[in-house]
Amino acid sequence: MRKVSGFWLSSLGGIGALVCAAMPALAASSGNRAEFAPLATPLGIQIQPLGTAAGYTLSAEAAAGTPHVSVVFANEKGMSLYTSDADVDGKPMCVDECAKTFIPALAPANTGPSVEGWSVVDRSDGSKQWALRGKPLYTYVKDVDIGSVGGNSPKTWGRGELVGPRGYLRGPMPKDQPLPDGWHAAMFFPVEKPLPPGFRVRQVEDVVGLVLTNQPGHTLYVLDGDVNKEKKICGNMAACVQWQPVAAPRVSAPYGDFGLVSRADGIKQWTYKGKGLYTYAGDLVPMDANGIDAHAAWSPAYIARHFAPPNVKVSTSRKLGKVWATAQGQTLYKRQGYIYQSGSGHAARRGDTVRPAVGRDIGTNPRCRKECDMWHPFLAPANAQASGYWDVATRADGQKQWVYQGYALWTYDGDKVPGDINGNDTFDFFVGQDNKTVIDPGIPYDWPTSLYWIVSFP
Amino acid sequence: MWRSSNLTRSVATGFASLVVCGAAMTASAKPAQALETRSYAMAWFTAAMNSTENDCPGGVHPSIQVQYHKNLLDLGYPPAEAAKLIEAYVSGDDDEQVSDIMLMRGRINGQPVNGYAHPGAVVDPQLTHVTAKEGFGFNLDGKDGPMNFTDPLTKEAGVDNQLSRALGCSNPFRGTYNVKPGLWLFRWSTMRDTTPAWLMTIAGEDLDTDGPITVIFDRAMEHLIFNGDGEARPDITYRADTDPRNHTVLKGEIKDGMIRITEHGRLQLMQDILGGGQLVLDKTHMRLTRTNTGNLDGFLAGFQPWEHLYFEIGQGGPASEDMSTGELPGKWHLMRKMADYDPDPSTGQNRSISATYRVEFVPVFVARMKNGEFVVGNDGAGEGGK
């Protein structure tokens, strides 16, 4: 086991003292804080991006893509899951020969805490099969790699015979093979949630989950308290003006989890699960979530949160906003393959493109060329299970390592205090120096390439 | 001559949202021997080239089409076939064939390999290099030899600027004192909108007179801010990043109105990967003079790892080669031959090349971390960014 430096041990003690001091306040709080928000996926169920967002291509489209454009539920190995129209009333009908083409997605013995919409159904042979909203789930024998749907591999968009060495298409791409009639990929989006007009559900990265937003896309927050006492709760005028109640039109009526409260100031305010809804003035653009740590009484209006390992948290870095960190606050990094981005943007927050295929190519071998003894794998327990965007890789030494969005995670000894990101943007170039040695960066390349360390954003 | 009004620059003003304790700073009693500081942000950073007529034997490097034709012949293509391929490349009828051949023009054990990623496996196209006698820079190693220049401004002999000798016969890299080389101009202009700014603080007892100073380099947390004319805006407050990789402190002096570095140590500044990922200069030299606008203008030089430079210019691969840099493996071979510092213990190959950069700074304020808060006017001499 890696020896933990004295600094981090003392930090753990200090953080523990702070947590203990804060515990009474946390215990009094309830409802929609992240730790109480429902999970989006059970243990053993992943989320995988499809198409060019899988990251196989080296082209400019990959630089512009995001991993959340089109995502599918997948099994613990990352293989896409499917439902069948023939399965009614939760009973799996695909058996015998059918089950050789559409293979039942069997549930593990430990499925962790129950997750809304997910269940386990019994098969006729006594095995347990995953079901989503009552529909049994299967994988497809023609899917050969992660991100495949209907037997159509995302690799065709970036690699293989149809793609030239510089990522261009050599000819027209063949049409996607269709799925057999009655079969459908179990897509993560759109999220089914009854909403009154003016509301949306969006995935906000810094919140690590799905939250309510207003129509323009600004994150909404709930107040853990009486809306008519918000001035007392927020403490001072400067803090209070940051929180703006989400006003409802006069003719509004309660709808599902959404209710209404008449405030003393005459505003009719929307509530979600009984708690007043607000926007935060510090959120300047859609997808901002700067209100996360602004005040203990306000928390994001979660629909569902994504799984994160118990010893991981979202931490505020020195200059790049929210990043993944260990429970002690040590920043987590990934090893990334460089992609040429004319016009820069690389140094901007989230200017780096997430490409799970590249992360898988690099795997747990960072091919480090300098300061190698300062980088340490972020290990997972032997019984760790994949869920959501998190996966577990088996290292060459047999240990398990946490993987996020395809990239194995690491810590850096050069980070001394929480918030440090001193390993960010450290490059190792792979340039062949002679006519004898073929370079091996572990990733496809079509010009001088490099691997670099970069913080892992949620 | 430094004007006394510049002393006000060391007083905290800055943006209220970025600066803490500014009032406290001005209200507190100054230590008896507090240093005067002035800070700057780097507005321009381009290679210092002194291109002249006839400085390249046989002329500048040929166009990429001509070079590719020669490369095809070097690869063993029969002349007729090579001509046909180039004709299709130039006309656009089928430029992919030549592009694919050029991509894989390296040879290892007789097998084609990516030439941009394996420039050592590409037959050296023997590109010409600069043979002129005058070039900007400094005598970095105290020696004077046939490959050294004489600086046209200072008349210093033994000037080391092998980078300009290696790349100066390629059009995108040519330039003069007043005309920035096209490629560096393009890259700096492209990066500066999003990449954090480079900062410099000068600290001394009296910056209006000759005397010893401390020169502190840092990287900002913000990118450069511009005026409407595209030039860097003065008097902005930047926060110095506490990343230790970006902090360098060197001794210097002001002498005859010129700022110089006298402690020729290593300068290190992180950079956008378009700029090679990191500026590393060993035996750093610098000379700056003040312009009538209050900016600083001059030269920054040292020995720089040339692998970084190859990556910087080569990372666009065939697209760069076709549209801007010209023949890339050939430039790798040139830099390899011209490299003049830091021999590899096992191979003897020099790993760094002398380089001179033309730099321009605008006066700004720098807030450095002190006791957990950013403070403008923090006397950075010896304290660094902590």
HEC assignment per residue over B309-358: HHHHHHCCHHHHHHHHHCCHHHHHHHHHHHCCEEECCCCCCEEEEEEEEE
Q: How far is CA A392 from CA A76, A312, B13, in A?
A: 9, 14, 51
How many alpha carbons fall within 13 Å on the CB side of residue A92? Answer: 29
B291: closest CA of chain A, how far (Å):
30
DSSP reduced 3-state for A86? coil
What residues of A are in contact with residue B273 (Cβ under 8 Å)?
A: 338, 346, 425, 427, 450, 452
What residue of A is the nearest CA neighbor of B309?
A429
Say whether B194 and A434 touch across the interface (CB within 8 A): no
Provide the 10 A C-beta neighbour count for residue A51: 16
Q: Where does a domain end: A305, A330, A359?
A: A305
Same domain, A271 and A378: no
Say whether A448 and B311 touch across the interface (CB within 8 A): yes
What residues of B are in contact with residue A420 (Cβ under 8 Å)?
A: 242
Residue of B189, B274, B320 to mutate for A, most A C-beta atoms under 10 A: B274
Provide the 10 A C-beta neighbour count for residue A337: 22
pLDDT one-digit tens code per residue, B296-342: 999 999 999 999 899 989 888 888 898 888 999 999 999 999 999 99
Position with higher pLDDT, A134 vs B31: A134
A429: closest CA of chain B, how far (Å):
7
User: Quick one: B150 exposed, middle or buried, by C-beta within 10 A (0-12, 13-18, 19+)?
Assistant: middle
Say whether A432 and B117 touch across the interface (CB within 8 A): yes
Say whether B195 and A449 touch across the interface (CB within 8 A): no
Instruction: Tell me how far apart the alpha carbons of residues B47 and B213 are, in angstroms, rounded to a whole number.
Output: 26
Q: Which residues on neighbouring strands pair with residue B299, listed in sequence order?
A: B287, B358
Task: State the residue for tokens 């109105």.
Answer: B257
Instruction: Tell me how far apart the alpha carbons of residues B9 and A90 are, in angstroms, rounded to a whole number.
Output: 74
Number of domains in chain A: 3
What residues of A are in contact with residue B270 (Cβ under 8 Å)?
A: 425
A305: closest CA of chain B, how far (Å):
31
What residues of A are in contact with residue B75 (Cβ under 8 Å)?
A: none
Structure tokens given for A120: 């386990």
CB B367 within 8 A of CB B240: yes
Domain coverage including residue A301: 195-305
Residue A32 lies in a domain: no
Say whether A448 and B107 touch across the interface (CB within 8 A): no
CB A392 within 8 A of CB A400: yes
Same domain, A118 and A171: yes
Say whether A342 and B316 touch across the interface (CB within 8 A): yes
Say whether A421 and B317 touch across the interface (CB within 8 A): no
CB A154 within 8 A of CB A145: yes
Task: State the residue for tokens 């299967």.
Answer: A138
CB B313 within 8 A of CB B148: no
Cis omega (within 30 of 0) for bond into A249: no
What's the confidence (pLDDT) of residue B323? 84
Same domain, A176 and A290: no
Helices H / strands E in chain B, number of each:
9, 14
Residue A15 lies in a domain: no
Same domain, A166 and A67: yes
Instruction: Tell me how far apart the alpha carbons of residues A376 and A373 are, in angstroms, rounded to a whole number.
Output: 8
Q: How far is CA A170 from CA A30, A165, A212, in A?
A: 57, 10, 44
Residue type at B192 in one-letter notation: R
Residue B312: closest CA among B301, B322, B324, B303: B324
Same domain, A156 and A217: no
Q: What is the mean pLDDT of chain B?
A: 88
Say whether B191 and A446 touch across the interface (CB within 8 A): no
What's the confidence (pLDDT) of residue A345? 61
Per this entry, what is the length of chain A?
Answer: 458
What's the confidence (pLDDT) of residue B266? 98
**B189 touching chain A per CB within 8 A:** no
Q: Rg of chain A over CA atoms, in angstroms?
A: 24
Residue A337 lies in a domain: yes
Same domain, A449 and A353: yes
pLDDT one-digit tens code per residue, B96-154: 889 889 999 999 999 999 999 999 999 999 999 999 999 999 999 999 999 999 999 99
Say whether B118 and A438 touch across the interface (CB within 8 A): yes
Q: Where does a domain end: A305, A320, A345?
A: A305
Same domain, A224 and A324: no
SS3 breakdown of chain A: % helix, strand, coil, rounded to 5? 15, 30, 55
What residue of B is the nearest CA neighbor of A421?
B243
Work out the angle at residue A284's Cα, subtended by the Cα atoms of residues A279 and A290, and round it to the nearest 5 degrees: 65
Same domain, A238 and A358: no
What's the confidence (pLDDT) of residue A29? 40
How many alpha carbons fall within 13 Å on the CB side of residue A449? Answer: 23
262-281 in chain B: CB under 8 A from chain A? 270, 272-274, 277-278
**B198 touching chain A per CB within 8 A:** no
**B314 touching chain A per CB within 8 A:** yes
Q: Where does a domain end: A287, A305, A323?
A: A305
Q: Across residues B6-31, what is the average pLDDT?
A: 41
**B323 touching chain A per CB within 8 A:** no
Rounded to 10°, the helix B95-103/B64-74 angle is: 60
What residues of A are in contact with residue B100 (Cβ under 8 Å)?
A: 164-165
Instruction: Tell me how far apart the alpha carbons of residues A146 and B200 are, in angstroms, rounded to a whole number.
Output: 49
How many alpha carbons fall within 13 Å on the CB side of residue A401? Answer: 24
Residue B127: closest CA among B173, B161, B82, B87: B173
How many alpha carbons fall within 13 Å on the CB side of residue B151? Answer: 20
Instruction: Tell me how far apart the alpha carbons of residues A357 and A364 are, in angstroms, rounded to a whole number.
Output: 13
Instruction: Tell me how far apart the alpha carbons of residues B115 and B117 are, in angstroms, rounded to a whole number.
Output: 5
Say whether A447 and B100 touch across the interface (CB within 8 A): no
Query: Which H or E run contains B186?
Result: helix B182-191
Q: How far is CA B341 from CA B160, B299, B332, in A?
A: 10, 20, 16
**B99 touching chain A per CB within 8 A:** yes
Q: Is the pLDDT of residue B159 over 90?
A: yes
What residue of B is the nearest CA neighbor of A430?
B117
What's the confidence (pLDDT) of residue A355? 87
What residues of A are in contact with residue B316 (Cβ under 8 Å)?
A: 340, 342, 447
What residues of A are in contact with residue B195 (Cβ under 8 Å)?
A: 344, 346-347
Same domain, A243 and A362: no
Say whether A448 and B116 touch across the interface (CB within 8 A): yes
DSSP reduced 3-state for A80? strand
Residue A18 lies in a domain: no
Instruction: Tell me how far apart the alpha carbons of residues A442 and A456 are, in angstroms, rounded to a whole number.
Output: 20
Say whether B104 and A165 touch across the interface (CB within 8 A): yes
Query: Which H or E run contains A14?
Result: helix A6-28
Tens-digit pLDDT string for chain A (458 aa): 333 343 343 333 333 333 333 333 333 344 457 777 889 999 999 999 887 778 877 655 554 444 445 889 999 999 999 999 999 988 999 999 999 999 999 998 777 778 989 999 999 888 999 999 999 999 999 998 999 999 988 877 666 666 665 556 667 777 788 899 999 999 998 787 889 999 999 999 899 999 999 999 999 999 999 999 998 998 888 889 999 999 999 889 999 999 999 999 999 999 999 999 999 999 999 989 999 989 999 999 999 999 999 999 999 998 888 999 999 999 999 999 887 765 556 666 677 778 899 999 999 999 999 899 999 999 999 999 999 999 999 999 999 999 999 999 999 999 999 999 999 989 999 999 889 999 988 887 778 888 999 999 99
Nearest to A344 among B103, B119, B272 (CB): B272
Same domain, A280 and A225: yes
Q: Is the pLDDT of residue B10 over 50?
A: no
Same domain, A385 and A317: yes
CB B279 within 8 A of CB B271: yes
Residue A52 lies in a domain: yes
| DSSP E strands, A133-195 | 135-136, 138-140, 183-185
Asked whether this complex has an ipTM greater than 0.90, the answer is: no
